[in-house]
């Protein structure tokens, strides 16, 4: 019997059905970040075995302003006219849309070489993580760690897991690699609890999440954003940056209970629910997070929204504000203002995921200049967390810095940012003469921000600076 042929109409219906299925799975929020910031598909990059050409000095140097490539302090200085000429053609690329805000500075002298709409409020997308990184490094030492405790409950057999805002606490089993480097382990915490209890049975684990307050999602986050591969509810107690298990790509709908379940499993099994630690309860065990410097680098390189939101709340706690989205945003703004970096009151979260976030693009340049300045050496993890073009993090994507822009590979360190209608990048680069420049660009009316052509247009802007001496 002959097999029925598929008619063109049926083909059209089949394609439409597949498109609807994919849209339903990814959601609008996934569309907002998707692969542009490697947020929808989390990065798992092997540790480099050797530095790419031109960045060895940055990766190994312990002092002095880090460069994207081997910058020379005696290199000829670019001029505003030269920079403007280098950028002129690329700024007209229709893939950027009609509105581009940005700045370029000579990192060595602080001279402003280019400015366009930099004082206007724009959506920063994930470049906002630069601001969160600078704020947390301003109020915390790079060596600081955050504690997670287990205390005795008010009844025999009850213990309370008290979260302290460690985003990378891991549920990985003994001997298994953690998803995030240097992460504390629930199994180690459980071992200390067992030792304290001297064999007494644990029947119930309560999870105390009171270190954070307010809503668990920010204004401007869509319902599809949590849970997703790039975001979870923000709680003070979580494992593996808001996942149910270390290898999960989609994050947890109940990250606090996921942490409680991990502890209960490590203790041999127990019921898990939410609760509060009794006042003055005996501490049965305590572990500490990776250092702040490591958390900042992980947040930056993988553009991890959950780590960013937890670190923003740590800024709020350090400055005696409520550890909520509102309190964290106010804390980051006030902390940066005290350092001369004005972002205003337009941020509503710490990651840039919200479609409501607004800052002046000049704040991104000012943050990077402060980090490059030798007097702000505690901000160094912000720079070492920047991705290297063509080498790691969010600039490793095969479509980034390709074609004519490939000349910039290894010469640019930057943080990307992408939302619907927004494509941006801010960081450091070394020009053709060996001069270190600081740049920030945000195209806030990009017609197709998630297309490789739109991201490529931003890459081309940056590559134009790498290519020229701009004199």
**Catalytic residue ranges:** 126, 129, 303
Rounded distance, CA 309 to CA 349, Å?
Answer: 7
* Dihedral sign for Cα atoms in the order 240, 215, 297, 208: negative
CB proximity list for 408: less than 8 A, separation 6 or greater:
389, 390, 401, 429, 459, 462, 463, 466, 467
- Collapsed DSSP state (helix, strand, coil) of residue 113: strand
Rounded distance, CA 387 to CA 382, Å?
Answer: 10
Beta strands in 233-386 (DSSP E): 271-274, 283-288, 359-360
Residue 462 CA: distances (Å) to CA of 104, 197, 258, 429: 10, 59, 42, 8
Burial status of residue 122 (CB atoms within 10 A of its CB: 0-12, 13-18, 19 or more): buried
- Collapsed DSSP state (helix, strand, coil) of residue 103: strand
Across-strand partners of 388?
413
310 phi, psi to nearest 5 deg: -65, -40
């Amino acid at each position: 019997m002959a097999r029925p042929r598929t008619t063109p109409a049926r083909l059209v219906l089949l394609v439409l059905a597949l498109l609807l299925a994919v849209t339903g799975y990814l959601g609008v929020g996934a569309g907002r970040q998707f692969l542009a910031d490697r947020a929808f598909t989390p990065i798992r990059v092997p540790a480099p075995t050797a530095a790419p050409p031109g960045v060895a000095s940055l990766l190994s140097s312990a002092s002095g302003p880090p460069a994207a490539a081997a910058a020379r302090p005696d290199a000829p200085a670019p001029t505003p006219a030269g920079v403007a000429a280098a950028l002129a053609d690329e700024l007209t690329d229709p893939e950027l849309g009609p509105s581009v805000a940005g700045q370029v500075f000579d990192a060595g002298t602080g001279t402003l070489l280019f400015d366009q709409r930099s004082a206007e409020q724009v959506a920063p997308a994930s470049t906002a993580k630069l601001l969160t990184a600078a704020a947390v490094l301003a109020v915390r030492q790079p060596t600081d760690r955050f504690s997670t405790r287990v205390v005795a409950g008010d009844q025999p057999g009850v213990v309370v897991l008290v979260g302290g805002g460690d985003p990378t606490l891991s549920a990985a089993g003994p001997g298994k690699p953690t998803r995030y480097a240097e992460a504390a382990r629930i199994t180690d915490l459980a071992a200390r609890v067992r030792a304290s209890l001297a064999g007494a049975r644990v029947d119930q684990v309560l999870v105390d999440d009171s270190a954070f307050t307010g809503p668990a999602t920010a204004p401007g986050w869509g319902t599809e954003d949590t849970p997703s591969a790039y975001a979870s509810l923000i709680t003070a107690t979580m494992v593996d940056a808001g996942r149910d298990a270390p290898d999960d790509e989609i994050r947890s709908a109940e990250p606090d209970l996921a942490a409680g379940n991990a502890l209960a499993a490590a203790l041999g099994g127990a019921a898990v629910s939410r609760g509060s630690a009794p006042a003055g309860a005996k501490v049965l065990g305590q572990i500490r997070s990776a250092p702040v410097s490591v958390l900042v680098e992980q947040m930056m390189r993988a553009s991890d929204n959950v780590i960013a939101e937890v670190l923003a709340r740590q800024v709020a706690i350090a400055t005696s504000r409520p550890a909520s989205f509102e309190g964290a945003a106010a804390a980051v703004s006030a902390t940066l203002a005290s350092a001369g970096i004005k972002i205003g009151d337009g941020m509503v979260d710490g990651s840039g995921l919200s479609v409501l976030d607004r800052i002046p693009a000049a704040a991104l340049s000012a943050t990077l200049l402060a980090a490059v300045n030798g007097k702000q050496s505690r901000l160094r993890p912000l720079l070492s967390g920047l991705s290297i073009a063509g080498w790691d993090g969010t600039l490793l994507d095969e479509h980034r810095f390709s074609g004519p822009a490939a000349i910039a590979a290894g010469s640019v360190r930057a943080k990307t940012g992408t939302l619907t209608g927004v494509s941006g990048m801010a960081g450091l680069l070394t020009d053709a003469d060996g001069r270190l420049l600081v740049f920030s660009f945000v195209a806030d009316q990009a017609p197709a921000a998630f297309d490789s052509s739109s991201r490529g247009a931003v890459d081309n802007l940056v590559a134009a600076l790498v290519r020229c001496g701009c004199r």
